[in-house]
Amino acid sequence: MNQYLPMITISILMGTLARINLLRADYRQYPSYPKGYISHFTFGIIASSLGAVAIPAIIQKDFQAITFLSIAATQFREVRGMERESLENLEDTELVPRGKAYIEDIAKAFESRNYIAMLTAIISSLVIQFYLFFINKQAAFFIQWIIGMIAGIFSIVILSRFTKGKIIEDIADVVPAKIYFKGPLLCIGDITIMNVGFEDSKKILLEKGMAILIKPKDDDAMATLSNIGLRQAIQHNVAVQLGIRKDVDEPDFTPLARRSAENGSIGLFIVAMEPDMECFIAAVKRVPVLESSQRKPLKSYAGKKAAD
- CA pair distance 142, 153, nearest whole angstrom: 16
| 17 has pLDDT over 70 | yes
Read off the pLDDT of each residue in 42-66 and give the average, rounded to a whole number: 81
Provide the pLDDT for residue 137. 67
Show the CA angle centred on residue 20, arms to residues 17 and 22, nearest 5°: 115
Q: Estimate to the nearest angstrom the gap between the alpha carbon of 180 and the chain centroid.
A: 34
- Answer yes or no: do 70 and 218 share one domain: no
Provide the pLDDT for residue 306. 67
| 25 has pLDDT over 60 | no
Percent of the chain surpassing pLDDT 70: 90
Percent of the chain surpassing pLDDT 90: 25
Provide the pLDDT for residue 8. 86
- CA pair distance 34, 45, nearest whole angstrom: 16
258: nearest Cα among 225, 218, 217 = 225
Provide the pLDDT for residue 305. 65
Q: Is 89 exposed, middle or buried (0-12, 13-18, 19+ CB in 10 A)?
A: exposed
| 214 has pLDDT over 80 | yes
- CA pair distance 212, 282, nearest whole angstrom: 11
Per-residue burial over 154-170, b if 16 or more Cβ lie within 10 Å, else e, is: ebbeebeeeeeeeebee
Last residue of a domain, one of 101, 134, 163: 163
Provide the pLDDT for residue 177. 92
Q: Enumerate residues 6+ apart whose C-beta is below 8 A from 243.
A: 272, 273, 274
CB 127 within 8 A of CB 14: no
- Answer yes or no: do 43 and 155 share one domain: yes
- Answer yes or no: do 188 and 268 share one domain: yes
- Answer yes or no: do 16 and 140 share one domain: yes
Higher-confidence residue: 225 or 2? 225
Provide the pLDDT for residue 231. 94
Provide the pLDDT for residue 228. 93
| 29 has pLDDT over 60 | no
Q: Which residues form the domain of 226?
A: 169-307
290: nearest Cα among 162, 157, 100, 83 = 100
Least confident of 57-71, 240-254, 265-279: 57-71
Higher-confidence residue: 26 or 33? 33
DSSP H or E stretch at residue 212: strand 209-216
Last residue of a domain, one of 130, 146, 163: 163
Among 50-54, 61-65, 230-234, the range with the most confident prediction by mean pLDDT is 230-234
- Answer yes or no: do 130 and 264 share one domain: no
Amino acid present at 113: R
Higher-confidence residue: 66 or 256? 256
Question: C-alpha dihedral over 25, 30, 35, 39, to 10 degrees?
Answer: -90
Higher-confidence residue: 136 or 200? 200
Provide the pLDDT for residue 33. 65
| 229 confidence band (pLDDT: 50, 70, 90) | very high
Provide the pLDDT for residue 168. 93
Structural domains of the chain, count: 2
Last residue of a domain, one of 127, 145, 163: 163
- Answer yes or no: do 127 and 245 share one domain: no
- Answer yes or no: do 151 and 182 share one domain: no
CB 43 within 8 A of CB 79: yes
Question: C-alpha dihedral over 35, 41, 42, 44, to 10 degrees?
Answer: 150
- Answer yes or no: do 229 and 151 share one domain: no
Least confident of 135-144, 172-181, 265-274: 135-144
- Answer yes or no: do 93 and 174 share one domain: no
Higher-confidence residue: 26 or 156? 156
pLDDT in tens, 82-137: 888 888 888 888 888 899 999 998 888 888 888 889 899 999 998 888 887 777 76
234: nearest Cα among 273, 198, 281 = 281
- Answer yes or no: do 131 and 242 share one domain: no
- Answer yes or no: do 103 and 56 share one domain: yes
- Answer yes or no: do 66 and 139 share one domain: yes
CB 163 within 8 A of CB 115: no
Provide the pLDDT for residue 230. 94
Provide the pLDDT for residue 56. 84
CB 86 within 8 A of CB 92: no
